[in-house]
Amino acid sequence: MTIQFNEETFRDDYSFRNSDRAIRRFPFPFHEDSYMYSVNMERHQGGPAGSVYEMRFDVDEHYVSEMQDRALVLSEDPLRCQSLPHMTLAGWDTLELIMVSKSEDYPDLFELHRDGDRWRWINKPMGIDHSFTFLDETTLPCGPLEYITRQAQGDFAVLDQRDDMLYMDAGMVTTQADWSLDFDIGMDFFEWHAPVPLAHEMGIFKRALKFLLNVRQAAPARRLNWTMTVNPLLDTSPENYHKWGVQKATLTSENIGAKQHLRVELQTFHRLPRSNALLFPIRCYLIAFQDLVTIPKWGRRLHRVVRDLPEELADYKGFIANRPLILDYLGRYDDGLPTSPGVWPDLEMEPPLQK
């Protein structure tokens, strides 16, 4: 599989686009016509060919442009990547996991040659050919976590596991849904989840923590999360809220199809072998409403989910003010027909829009 990488931006003129292929493989997160929290975990060991679930770390047409956007964010705010001193080993674990996975899953794009601790890494899309000594930081231009996550899509939280608790002790966070590594660094699992409504009362986090503490080597897990973003912005951070928050007020019934995006996170969980830390990649996928509704089933379903979502969730996900506009738009793509179960587009089975 050779990927044609897009030239596009996630800021200023927002030239970000999804190809037809990217639309069809979009990780639509709703398996039924309603949504509520759950610890919706499953094993992350492959998926249907071509889907975003197939590889350990999905590489798609946005790879090169996302890495350019990350570099821009880091040059303005280096604190988006942090690693407490005891997390360096987990950084090497992360580097190893990503290099091994990508070179095995995309041999035409990435190569890893290992001779004991002497490693050579070739990243063709980014034009990198680098030899270094594994576990020797002096042979890399920056720490191992920063080095490899400047070459991997999605955010990365690296969680130390101590005394039956997880701690946010390292990470690379530039494509986040309004949370801050600099604010959360060193916090425990319950502390960094404190702002989430309803889920605490439902016991979601206690169960989730128990599950995560037991994620085992060679048995990674995954789940999806979602929110809404106006304009295809990767960096919706609290640090830059003054820049992007106001853009939510620019939505009109004329521009909503192009501007309003469904934002889906593919979250995976990997036990790191040398450090026993837990790697938590959070990969962000964006799709404009006007592209999403080209899949009739998704148009119908998204309308019903947004319509029936509890007030607290619409507020927490940041689109409560725009909900009337969103419902007005999506309502045009909901003809009331039933939808097939599951997340897949089902283009062959689902009837076209009947209105």
Choose, by CB under 8 A, the member of 3, 24, 37, 51 that binds other proteins.
Answer: 51
Cα–Cα distance between 250 and 259 in angstroms, integer?
9
* Residue 201 near other proteins by CB under 8 A: no
Q: Are the beta carbons of 143 and 83 closer than 8 angstroms? A: yes
List 133, 217, 253, 340, residue binding other proteins (CB under 8 A): 217
CB nearer other proteins, residue 6 or residue 267: 267
Q: Which CB, 58 or 235, lies closer to other proteins?
A: 58
Please answer whether residues 112 and 61 qualify as being in contact, where contact means their C-beta atoms are separated by less than 8 angstroms.
Answer: no
- Of 223, 271, 283, 304, the active-site residue reads 223
Closest distance to other proteins from the beta carbon of 216 (Å): 5
Q: Residue 133, interface with other proteins (CB under 8 A)?
A: no
Query: Considering only 81-89, 242-250, 297-305, 317-325, which stretch makes contact with other proteins by CB under 8 A?
Result: 81-89
263, 227 Cβ separation under 8 angstroms: yes
**Nearer to other proteins by C-beta: 42 or 191?**
42
- Using CB under 8 A as the binding rule, whether residue 143 contacts other proteins is answered as no
Amino acid at the residue 105: D
Q: Is 343 in the site for other proteins (CB under 8 A)?
A: yes
Q: Does 86 participate in binding other proteins (rule CB under 8 A)? A: yes
Write the CB contacts of 294 (distance below 8 Å, at least 6 apart in sequence). 23
- Phi, psi angle pair for 241, to nearest 5°: -55, -35
Q: How far apart are CA 321 and CA 280, in angstroms?
A: 31
10 touches other proteins (CB under 8 A): no
Which of 89, 196, 199, 353 touches other proteins (CB under 8 A)? Answer: 89
Catalytic annotation present for 223:
yes
Q: Give min distance, CB of 141 to other proteins, in A.
A: 22
Give the range of 85-93, 102-110, 328-336, 345-353 binding other proteins by CB under 8 A: 85-93
Instruction: Identify residues 92-121 at the interface with other proteins (CB under 8 A).
Output: none
Inter-CA distances, 245 with 83, 282, 319, 323, Å = 28, 21, 11, 16
Neighbouring residues of 240: CB distance < 8 A, sequence distance ≥ 6: none
Q: Does 43 participate in binding other proteins (rule CB under 8 A)?
A: yes
Task: Give the Cα separation of 91 and 250 in Å (integer).
Answer: 40
Amino acid at 279: L
Which one of 14, 19, 24, 47 is in contact with other proteins (CB under 8 A)?
47
Q: Report DSSP state, residue 262.
A: E
What's the CA gap between 30 and 90, in Å, rounded?
33
Amino acid code (one letter) for 6? N
Residue 171 is classified by DSSP as E
Contact present, 148 and 101 (Cβ < 8 Å): no
Q: What is the phi/psi pair of residue 125, to 5°? A: -60, -30
Residues 146-165 that bind other proteins (CB under 8 A): 160-163
210 lies in the binding site for other proteins (CB under 8 A): yes
Q: Take residue 212 and report the two structure tokens written for it.
A: 């995560």
CB nearer to other proteins: pick between 10 and 226: 226
Identify residues 258-317 at the interface with other proteins (CB under 8 A): 273-276
Closest CA to 81 of 175, 187, 188, 173: 173
Between residues 43 and 200, which has the closer beta carbon with respect to other proteins?
43
Given the rule CB under 8 A, which residues bind other proteins? 27, 29, 31, 40, 42-43, 45-48, 51, 53, 85-87, 89, 160-163, 210, 214, 216-219, 222-224, 273-276, 342-343
Active site residues: 223
